[in-house]
Amino acid sequence: MLFQRRNPPHLGEKLRVWLWPRRNWSRSARYMAHRIRRLKATPYAIAVGCAAGVFAAFTPFLGLHFIVAGLIAWIARGSILASALATFVGNPLTFPLIWFGSYKLGSWMLGMKGNMKHIELSAGMLDKSLDQLWPVIKPMTVGGIPMGLVAAVIAYFVTKKASEAYREKRRQRDRVGPSQPAQA
């Protein structure tokens, strides 16, 4: 087939690329920024979508980030695609920081004496019932909401300014017209 790899990647390679990009993190971040800037939506819709995605990345509900971001973007009349792209703020490098910060902030807000040394984060934790997970999820949710709101407000203003600047630059380029061919 056209444009396919001769040898498809095996599971180990797919996992490695998911955890660590082939090139580097800055290239992946620039790619996401280009994708967001080129969306066919208003600067408001793109900014609201990005803010929704960033907010969703601060929730402890890993499998639901796309759904939460999409619902928030849909309710706020934002770009659902921008919200999905912005959920990549939560990645294997940032999740430990987000989780630790949200747990500490949530424990403080709830008046709990949260001590992460006594929390077992092993594979067996997923087999436990919600009653056993609630002491971890509750402070992470409570702490993740204000952290997510702050990050979402910052993302909204940065994305809106960048989107407006990009559109203005394209308008100016389109007014000038196509480049003149070189004279022979």
Q: What DSSP line would sit under 114-131, residue for residue?
A: --GGG---SGGGGGS-HH
- Give the model's pLDDT for residue 151: 93
Instruction: Tell me the HSE value of 19 on the side-chain side, using a 13 A CA sphere.
Output: 6
- Give the model's pLDDT for residue 154: 95
Q: What DSSP line would sit under 23-80, residue for residue?
A: S-HHHHHHHHHHHHHT-SS-HHHHHHHHHHHHHHHTSS-GGGHHHHHHHHHHHTT--H
The answer to the question of residue 6 being in a domain is: no
The answer to the question of residue 28 being in a domain is: no
The model carries a pTM of 0.69
Rounded Cα distance, 107 and 151, in Å: 19
The answer to the question of residue 8 being in a domain is: no
Q: Cβ of 46: how many Cβ atoms within 10 Å?
A: 31
Rounded Cα distance, 59 and 147, in Å: 9
- Give the model's pLDDT for residue 1: 53
Rounded Cα distance, 130 and 126, in Å: 9
- Give the model's pLDDT for residue 120: 59
Domain that holds residue 59: 39-161
The answer to the question of residue 180 being in a domain is: no
Low-confidence ranges of the chain (pLDDT < 70): 1-2, 18-21, 36-37, 114-131, 177-184
- Give the model's pLDDT for residue 145: 92
- Give the model's pLDDT for residue 184: 52
- Give the model's pLDDT for residue 128: 61
- Give the model's pLDDT for residue 158: 93
Q: How many domains does the chain have?
A: 1
The answer to the question of residue 184 being in a domain is: no
- Give the model's pLDDT for residue 55: 94
